[in-house]
């Protein structure tokens, strides 16, 4: 059929075996005799490769490509502490704080939109390097900023760099990964965002003791260090085979595919699929017309994909991460050292549970994790809102309020990280047909960034108008809607080929039904030629 992933296992393979259970979805190619696990050739020319070697290569390429996401996480985490000291040093008001914090999402959206055309022009690998360079320039300007205007200029520049990185890494990973690993590998950028947030929190705590006119500058300047590692990345990872095909460099694309697939035959098959994909996606106007006037099947895909992107941010994750010191202060933590130490606990929770999500996403399934995540987020938000409300009325002791606030905030980021945090991009990378994937994923990212910016830029104003407890009550209500949305509009896609996913949205109508083996067999048989060929 010329579609990547068709006829390949997508159940997580070794990941499921690692966890000691089998997936409920069984693929027909899983029951075929195993291929011989021998190696011949030089690793570039072909032959049969050692099973697992290609997967390790793809894994490390995906890890290196995701490093720019540390920059976004670091910026989010470090700004939560920086804003305390920037306010003292530059004497900025509440509106300026909101603009400084929230503008990053809007600017990163512009960077992401520009990155699409840039990566087509200079390549995915060079765009990864360009993203790091732009962020470094922005971080340097912020660290040296003598005024709020200069600080904003640096932040806007850093936002463009982050936007480039946000766009190009998932594209690169999806273009180099086999279908069997796509769920886990597509989650890697989220773990690097979480790791970056943790680094930002640790930086806040480490440098808080410096003078107020120095500490926030050192915190921001430290963000340059992770981006320097990208220079090494550019010497290690190969260029995207799809981009090489688009440039007419088919021989180089084949050499890359041989390294990231397990057999020469599989490399040749993927090369043919990429060549077909490049021909189909060249008609960009046709693609956008199909997205703007979708068929019922495409409409259900867009509702699921865009809805998950919206709810990921509308539940308030960025507000909680950016303003966690404000939340803890409202709960009764008074000293700056204790505030920043509490945020480190938040960062640890987020990082630990995103690792758990990566282990589970191809094993447990997308929808169960989404339901666990959204239900848990709703409960944590409701308890946090009730805690802050009772404390404001004097009906809750201060020590109990502090403990509940820390537990619920850590619980929020844990539930977020185990489900809706990473799975939004996993779903986006697999539910859309190949011809629409790049544009539909870009549209989803735009929805995500716009929602993030709106939440971050309005949080303090909402708190002033309705109290911090009122703001989290509103987030809890939105989160409750996300539970219903996942239940009704997001089907299970784990362990299914692209053909099965299309059938799922076509026949199940997005109601959350699942396609079992018999459905897949019926689909395959229905699309076979009389002689048995697909």
Tell me which residue has tokens 């690169």: 172
Same domain, 193 and 296: no
Distance of CA 507 to the CA centre of its chain: 29
Please report which confidence band the pLDDT of residue 43 belongs to, taking 50, 70 and 90 as the band edges: very low
Tell me: do 298 and 204 sit in the same domain. Answer: no
Whether residue 66 sits in one domain with residue 208: yes
Instruction: Average the pLDDT over 118-127 and give the result.
Output: 88
Residue 470 domain boundaries: 290-507
Are 335 and 444 in a shared domain?
yes
Using the 3D structure, point to which of 214, 237, 260 is the last residue of a domain: 237
**Do 233 and 368 reside in the same domain of the chain?**
no
- Tell me the residue length of the chain: 534
Residue 100 lies in a domain: yes
Give yes or no: residues 62 and 168 share one domain: yes
Does a structural domain hold residue 247?
A: no
In a domain, 18, yes or no: no
Asked if residue 59 belongs to a domain, the reply is yes
Residue 327 lies in a domain: yes
pLDDT tens sequence across 222-248: 888 877 778 888 888 899 888 898 888
Same domain, 208 and 311: no
Q: What's residue 151's pLDDT? A: 93
Same-domain status, 332 and 410: yes
- How would residue 416 be classed by pLDDT, with cut points 50, 70 and 90? very high
**Mean pLDDT within 182-196:** 79
Domain count, the chain: 2
pLDDT at 502 over 90: no
Residue 530 lies in a domain: no
pTM for the model: 0.70
The pLDDT tens digits of the residues spanning 272-308 come to 877 876 665 555 556 778 888 888 889 999 999 999 9
Q: Flag whether pLDDT at 6 surpasses 50.
A: no
Same domain, 301 and 229: no
Note whether residue 7 is domain-resident.
Answer: no
Share in percent of the chain as helix, strand, coil (round to 5): 80, 0, 20
Lowest pLDDT segment from 36-45, 99-108, 347-356: 36-45
Average pLDDT over residues 154-178: 85
Together in a domain, 231 and 306 = no
Q: Supply the pLDDT for residue 368.
A: 92
Percent of the chain exceeding pLDDT 70 equals: 81
Helix (H) or strand (E) holding 303: helix 296-314
Question: CA–CA separation, 35 vs 51, rounded Å?
Answer: 9
Shared domain check, 380 and 231 = no
Question: Which of 138-142, 465-469, 524-528 is least confident?
Answer: 524-528
> Is the confidence at residue 513, as pLDDT, over 60?
no
Give yes or no for residue 509 having a pLDDT over 80.
Answer: no
In the block, tokens 């666990």 appear at 372
Domain stops at, among 210, 237, 264: 237
Q: Which positions ≥6 away from 293 have C-beta within 8 Å? A: none
* Domain-ending residue, one of 219, 237, 255: 237
Q: Do residues 135 and 209 share a domain?
A: yes
Q: Give the pLDDT band (50/70/90) at residue 315.
A: very high
Q: Tell me the backbone φ, ψ of residue 48, rounded to 5 degrees.
A: -90, 130
CATH of the domain at 163: 1.20.1250.20
Residue 205: inside a domain: yes
Q: Which of 198, 228, 67, 65 is nearest to 137 (CA)?
A: 228
């Amino acid at each position: 059929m010329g579609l990547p992933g068709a006829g390949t296992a997508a159940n997580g393979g070794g990941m499921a075996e690692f966890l000691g259970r089998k997936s409920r979805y069984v693929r027909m190619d899983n029951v075929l005799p195993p291929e011989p696990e021998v190696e011949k050739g030089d690793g570039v020319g072909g032959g049969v490769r050692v099973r697992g070697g290609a997967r390790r290569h793809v894994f490390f390429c995906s890890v290196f490509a995701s490093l720019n996401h540390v920059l976004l996480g670091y910026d989010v985490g470090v700004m939560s502490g920086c804003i305390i000291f920037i306010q003292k040093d530059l004497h900025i008001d509440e509106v300026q704080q909101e603009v400084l914090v929230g503008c990053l999402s809007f600017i990163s959206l512009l960077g992401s939109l520009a990155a699409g055309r840039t990566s087509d022009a200079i390549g995915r690998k060079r765009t990864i390097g360009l993203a790091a360079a732009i962020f470094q320039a922005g971080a340097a300007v912020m660290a040296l900023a003598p005024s709020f205007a200069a600080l904003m200029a640096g932040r806007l520049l850093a936002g463009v760099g982050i936007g480039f990185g946000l766009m190009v890494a998932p594209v690169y990973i999806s273009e180099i990964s086999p279908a069997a690993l796509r769920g886990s590998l597509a989650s890697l950028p989220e773990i690097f965002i979480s790791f970056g947030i943790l680094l930002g929190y640790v930086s806040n705590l480490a440098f808080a003791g410096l003078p107020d006119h120095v500490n926030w500058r050192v915190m921001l300047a430290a963000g340059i260090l992770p981006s320097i590692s990208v220079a090494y990345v550019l010497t290690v990872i190969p260029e995207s085979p799809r981009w090489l095909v688009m440039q007419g460099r088919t021989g180089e694309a084949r050499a890359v595919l041989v390294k990231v697939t397990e057999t020469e035959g599989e490399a040749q098959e993927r090369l043919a699929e990429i060549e077909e994909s490049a021909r189909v996606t060249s008609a960009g106007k046709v693609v956008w017309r199909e997205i703007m006037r979708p068929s019922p099947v495409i409409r259900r895909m867009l509702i699921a994909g865009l809805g998950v992107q919206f709810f990921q941010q509308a539940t308030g994750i960025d507000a909680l991460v950016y303003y966690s010191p404000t939340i803890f202060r409202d709960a009764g933590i008074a000293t700056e050292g204790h505030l920043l130490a509490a945020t480190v606990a938040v960062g640890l929770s987020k990082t630990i549970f995103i690792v758990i999500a990566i282990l589970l996403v191809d094993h447990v399934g997308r929808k169960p994790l989404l339901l666990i995540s959204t239900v848990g987020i709703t409960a944590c938000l409701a308890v946090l809102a009730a805690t802050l409300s009772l404390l404001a009325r004097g009906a809750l002791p201060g020590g109990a309020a502090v403990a509940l606030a820390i537990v619920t905030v850590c619980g929020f980021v844990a539930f977020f990280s185990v489900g809706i945090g990473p799975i939004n991009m996993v779903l986006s990378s697999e539910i859309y047909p190949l011809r629409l994937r790049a544009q539909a994923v870009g549209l989803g990212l735009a929805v995500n960034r716009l929602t993030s910016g709106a939440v971050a830029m309005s949080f303090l104003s909402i708190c002033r108008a309705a109290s911090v407890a009122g703001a989290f009550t509103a987030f809890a209500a939105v989160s409750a809607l996300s539970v219903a949305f996942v239940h009704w509009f997001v089907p299970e896609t784990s362990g299914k080929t692209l053909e099965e996913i299309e059938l799922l949205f076509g026949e199940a109508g997005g109601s959350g039904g699942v396609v079992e083996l018999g459905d897949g067999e019926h689909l395959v048989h229905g699309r076979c030629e009389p002689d048995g060929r697909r």
